[in-house]
Structure 1
Amino acid sequence: MKRFQCDIENNCYFTIDNIKIYLDRMNKRVKILDSGSIPIQTVDKIKDFASENHAGKVIGNTILPHVKLFTQAGFCVEGKIDGFFKGTDAYCVSYFMDSKRKISDNPELKDKIIAQCLMSNNRHTAGGSNNLPYSIRTATQSDIGEIVALFSTVFSTYPTPVYDEEYIRQTMDGKILYKVAESEGKIIGMASADMDMDNRNAEMTDCATYPDHRGKGVLSNIIYELEEELKNRNFITLYSLSRAVNTGINMVLCKHQYKYRGRLINNCNICGAYEDMNIWIKRLDAF
């Protein structure tokens, strides 16, 4: 086993039998980063590694021909991201090291939220952005302090180190596209696209709006602006992992014609607890 490249939160990349994995200490999980065929013996070694590092969950994205290998090793398929690998679908496989972590809290409520979203005919309409009481633009280094302040207000905990100015500074340099909404010289909301250039997919994430500015379409309009730029950059698939208990963000994604593709149980530490995350996807080549 070889360790290399640790990040700000002391999360680290490792290789086990040449298979690249990521130890995510913040969320107590291990992510398998290779999508190819993995010998069952290596999968077992990854489980042992997860146990030694007190991870409650092992996750990965794989292509259909390799799903059987994972299910035979005790993994379950929690969802799918259409077109994740340069247009080829990815299946989200998970193994729960901790039996308590596989139990979803109040799944009936979360299913009800999805049903409400799917029954809604509300759709985002482009245009009219010049008449908004706020402007939307790409974030710059000078915005970092305000971005951190926004996240600190909205989230008590978050799966990535968005409270760290150095993290924002590093990721703003090409990997993540941040866009903000500004009113009277102050940032009131933001969202970002975490871009996988190699596979031509992007995760729509980091959605936050100050409470007194909600209900004004801030997030919906930021997502629209992100999508337009990602289209111009020739991305194939956009996806988002949204809090299953948050009606608003799920409604916004459905409004933008994202499709529901499953739920990741107790996937990450957000707002002070492990939460289920709904998978929503949008193929840009379909629009």
Structure 2
Amino acid sequence: MKKFQCDTENNCFFTIDTVKIYLDKMNKRVKIFDSDSITIQTLEKIKGFASVNQAGKIIGNAVLSHVKLFTQAGFCIEGKIDGFFKGTDAYCVSYFMDGKRKISENQEQKDKIIAQCLMSDSRYIAGGSNNPPYSIRTAAQRDIGEIAALFSTVFSTYPTPVYDEEYLRQTMNGKILYKVAEYEGKIIGIASADMDMENRNAEMTDCATYPEYRGKGVLSNIIYELESELKNRNFITLYSLSRAVNTGINMVLYKHQYKYRGRLINNCNICGAFEDMNIWIKMI
């Protein structure tokens, strides 16, 4: 096993039998990358690694031809991301090390939110906000302090260290595209696209708006601007993992014509606890 490339939270990449994995301490999980050469034996080693590191969940994205191998090793399919691998679908496979981690709370409430979205005939219309008083632009290094303050206000905990100015500085240099809404010189909202250049997909994430500015289309308009830029950059698939308990963000994605593709149970640590995340996808 080889260890390499650690980040600001001391999370690290490792290789086991040439398979690249990521130990995510904040979310108590292990993520599998590069599963082309995966075997049952390697998956068993990864389970052992997860146990030693007290990770409650192992996650990965697999092409259809590899799904049977994962299920034989005890993984379940929690969802699907259409076009994730340069246009080829990915299946979201998960293994729960901890039995409690696989128990989803308030499922009925979460299902009702999805049903509410799917029954809605509301759609986002570009330019339909009658010239909102705020402007939207790509974030710059000079914004890092304000962005960190916004995230700290909105989220008590978050799956990635968005409160860390050094993390923002590093990711702003090409991997993540941040766009902000600004009103009277103050950043009032943000969303980002975590770009996978190799596979031509991007995760729409890091959505936050100060409470007093919600209900004004801030997030919807930022997502539209992100989508426009990603389309110009020839990305194929956009996806988002949204909090299953949050009606607003799920409705925003539905209005932007994202399609619901499943739910990741207790997937990450957000707002002080492990939460289920709904999978939404859009091919552009």
Partner of 2:35, secondary structure, is coil
Residue aligning to 1:88: 88
Asked if 1:260 corresponds to 2:260, the answer is yes
| Number of residue-to-residue matches in the alignment | 284
Q: Percent identity of the aligned residues?
A: 85
Deviation at 1:45, TM superposition (A): 0.2
Question: Following the alignment from structure 1 to structure 2, what is the Cα–Cα distance between the partners of residues 179 and 222?
Answer: 7
One-letter code of the match for 1:241?
L
Question: Following the alignment from structure 1 to structure 2, what is the Cα–Cα distance between the partners of residues 130 and 194?
Answer: 29
Deviation at 1:37, TM superposition (A): 4.1
Summarize deviations over 1:229-280 as a string: whole Å, max 9, x none.
0000000000000000000000000000000000000000000000000000
Gaps of 5+ in 2: none
Summarize deviations over 1:200-225 as a string: whole Å, max 9, x none.
00000000000000000000000000
Question: Following the alignment from structure 1 to structure 2, what is the Cα–Cα distance between the partners of residues 72 and 122?
Answer: 42
Residue aligning to 1:187: 187
Question: Following the alignment from structure 1 to structure 2, what is the Cα–Cα distance between the partners of residues 39 and 123?
Answer: 44
Matches within 5 A, 1:2-41: 2-41=2-41
- TM-score (norm: length of structure 2): 0.99
Asked if 1:55 corresponds to 2:55, the answer is yes
Question: Following the alignment from structure 2 to structure 1, what is the Cα–Cα distance between the partners of residues 217 and 113?
Answer: 19
One-letter code of the match for 1:151?
F
- TM-score (norm: length of structure 1): 0.98
Summarize deviations over 1:143-198 as a string: whole Å, max 9, x none.
00000000000000000000100000000000000000000000000000000000
Question: Following the alignment from structure 2 to structure 1, what is the Cα–Cα distance between the partners of residues 129 and 245?
Answer: 29
**Counterparts in 2 of 1:167 and 1:130: CA distance versus 1, 3 Å:** farther
Matches within 5 A, 1:239-254: 239-254=239-254
Summarize deviations over 1:96-150 as a string: whole Å, max 9, x none.
0000000001100000000000000100001256711100000000000000000
Matches within 5 A, 1:213-224: 213-224=213-224
Matches within 5 A, 1:108-257: 108-128=108-128, 131-257=131-257
Partner of 1:36, secondary structure, is helix
Residue aligning to 1:279: 279
Partner of 2:163, secondary structure, is coil
One-letter code of the match for 1:41?
Q
Question: Following the alignment from structure 1 to structure 2, what is the Cα–Cα distance between the partners of residues 90 and 107?
Answer: 24
Is the 2:110–2:245 contact (alpha carbons within 8 Å) kept by the matching residues of 1? yes
Residue aligning to 2:44: 44
Is the 1:11–1:25 contact (alpha carbons within 8 Å) kept by the matching residues of 2? yes
Question: Following the alignment from structure 2 to structure 1, what is the Cα–Cα distance between the partners of residues 50 and 176?
Answer: 28
Question: Following the alignment from structure 2 to structure 1, what is the Cα–Cα distance between the partners of residues 12 and 35?
Answer: 19
One-letter code of the match for 2:126?
A
Is the 2:19–2:35 contact (alpha carbons within 8 Å) kept by the matching residues of 1? no
Question: Following the alignment from structure 1 to structure 2, what is the Cα–Cα distance between the partners of residues 185 and 4?
Answer: 41
Question: Following the alignment from structure 2 to structure 1, what is the Cα–Cα distance between the partners of residues 54 and 128?
Answer: 50
Question: Following the alignment from structure 1 to structure 2, what is the Cα–Cα distance between the partners of residues 256 and 35?
Answer: 31
CA RMSD of aligned residues (A): 0.8
Matches within 5 A, 1:89-104: 89-104=89-104
Give 4+ residue runs of structure 1 displaced > 4 Å after superposition: none
Partner of 1:131, secondary structure, is coil
Question: Following the alignment from structure 2 to structure 1, what is the Cα–Cα distance between the partners of residues 91 and 108?
Answer: 24
One-letter code of the match for 1:51?
S
